[in-house]
Structure 1
């Protein structure tokens, strides 16, 4: 069973200085990583700095904190170039970089940049090949690869890496979950991406049963894989009141509070209650790497302190 880890998703940091400040504070509070998304249109997550460059600044401003992506869109970077950038960031950070990858899902972003938004099977197939190329390049091999999507003819990566970056794959659909189970060190479990180029907002996608099914698909590959999710932590006196408030905010009505309390990504209530939830969900679902938004990482710090190293 994996020990608990905690990350901060710096999604409101609109400048490199803000990313660095978040990283320094996250390190002070005992978090394990600071993470950045990979988007260049303002919706739905707001304006963002370039992730790999900003993470280099964060790594230079900290000494222990891991830096990572959650997640890079594979279609935005050729794996040969990504391997070089990742290896350089791994060297700069002293081995603290964690590479998060996904197949891409935000249609409006592709269209804004004039890029083809291929059907999901094509994008996932491209990611599968990219992971193979990246792993061979990180291993120091001269890579010759002929696939459906990539052709590499005699490239060796530089700089060499003493420690291969940890690989996280964000996944919500069965094929992606199986791919992540085969290839990743960490799987970030998500709601499924829809063919139209959005993420499902269905309540059912966020319930314990759906999460368990997805975790089972990951573990069916027979590897010891860390399970992660972006979670919300609200330390309050009454978990029921917090669940009702969240359900109302989402338009589900107060009667959906029971369902909210069943959502693995919701940690609502007093500190001892959320600590118990974390242990229970790790045992039942394998969920051990919890990522919180920078909007609430200060408030969630007591939970981090209570669970770090356990």
Structure 2
């Protein structure tokens, strides 16, 4: 029996990465619309100097609606563990348990671009481990902040298996369906961990802050990549159901630009 066969089938849930554009009022309206459409989680990218800081932005979103909120994802290359853990714990307290901490190594070279010292892959993983450990200490016995870890290679996967509540796989855009399926199925089923998928493109559109601007959607479809979903809601719903059945993905994260397009999918599948 393979690992996927041993995993419990989780109900679907859907998150939206909703960076703030130039118009704050429009962003607030978008957050309310996302909540009204049945999405579970409002997420913010960790891109200092490009977007307002995650902490105050998510606190604002949580005050506007009853959505869960989360980081997608804290970049360990940019962050010291103690401070990140304290911010995450504080958001859990202020939202009364509606915060989810997403954390990953961070895009290669992002710290150098921002004028910070280079951080090795090993140090990035160490920061991720130390951040989760500090968060558990701050939470104590009365609070458990869910941790979603972005993973790629075997070392980060092993760390997630040890300390995370959920994982999202950093998938190369040129991976086809078979490669992605094998990559996820190789992730051990020793613990019941939620499998999330970062969907960078829908139809012919690419989500802001979820992929590079030159991502070729036609090439993704030709490769049968799972980084993309159809823009037709019926086809998208069918594909999402297939991905849970064949691979185990149950948490799907899309860009805010596609929240209205896929709202019928959320209405049909959320919680099922």
TM-score (norm 1): 0.74
Instruction: Report the alpha carbon displacement of residue 81 of structure 1 after superposing the two structures with TM.
Output: 2.2
- For the 8 Å contact 2:89–2:135, the answer to whether it is kept is no
Q: Report the number of matched residues.
A: 254
Cα displacement string for residues 92-151 of structure 1 (whole angstroms, at most 9, x for unaligned residues): 2121101111122241x31243322122122223322332232233226xxxxxxxxxxx
Cα displacement string for residues 189-234 of structure 1 (whole angstroms, at most 9, x for unaligned residues): 113xxxxxxxx5x513xx222322332343x151111111222344
Cα displacement string for residues 16-41 of structure 1 (whole angstroms, at most 9, x for unaligned residues): 54543322111011110110000125
TM-score (norm 2): 0.83
Counterpart for residue 309 of structure 1:
271
Aligned equivalent of 2:59, options 56, 59, 82: 56
Q: Does 1:169 align with 2:149?
A: yes
Matching of residues 243-262 of structure 1 within 5 Å: 250=216, 257-259=221-223, 262=224
Q: Does 1:203 align with 2:174?
A: yes
Provide closer, same or farther for how the CA distance between residues 67 and 228 of structure 1 changes in structure 2, counting only shifts above 3 A. Answer: same
Counterpart for residue 210 of structure 2:
none
Counterpart for residue 102 of structure 1:
104
Aligned residue for 2:250, secondary structure, equals strand
Counterpart for residue 126 of structure 2:
125
More strand by share: 1
Aligned residue for 1:287, secondary structure, equals coil
Cα distance in structure 1, aligned partners of 2:215 and 2:51 = 26
Cα distance in structure 1, aligned partners of 2:221 and 2:12 = 26
Counterpart for residue 274 of structure 1:
236
- For the 8 Å contact 2:111–2:119, the answer to whether it is kept is no
Provide closer, same or farther for how the CA distance between residues 301 and 203 of structure 1 changes in structure 2, counting only shifts above 3 A. Answer: same
Q: Does 1:224 align with 2:226?
A: no
Instruction: Report the alpha carbon displacement of residue 293 of structure 1 after superposing the two structures with TM.
Output: 0.5
Instruction: Report the alpha carbon displacement of residue 187 of structure 1 after superposing the two structures with TM.
Output: 0.7
Provide closer, same or farther for how the CA distance between residues 98 and 83 of structure 1 changes in structure 2, counting only shifts above 3 A. Answer: same
Instruction: Report the alpha carbon displacement of residue 14 of structure 1 after superposing the two structures with TM.
Output: 4.4
Q: Which has the larger radius of gyration?
A: 1
- For the 8 Å contact 2:62–2:95, the answer to whether it is kept is yes
Provide closer, same or farther for how the CA distance between residues 25 and 122 of structure 1 changes in structure 2, counting only shifts above 3 A. Answer: same
Instruction: Report the alpha carbon displacement of residue 67 of structure 1 after superposing the two structures with TM.
Output: 0.5
Greater mean deviation of Cα atoms: 273-282 or 111-120: 111-120
Greater mean deviation of Cα atoms: 18-27 or 289-298: 18-27
- For the 8 Å contact 1:16–1:49, the answer to whether it is kept is no
Cα displacement string for residues 69-102 of structure 1 (whole angstroms, at most 9, x for unaligned residues): 0001124333222232222211221211011111
Any unmatched runs of 5+ in structure 2?
Answer: 1-8, 205-213
Higher RCO, 1 or 2 (CA under 8 Å, sep at least 6)? 2
Aligned residue for 2:261, secondary structure, equals coil
Cα distance in structure 1, aligned partners of 2:143 and 2:105 = 24
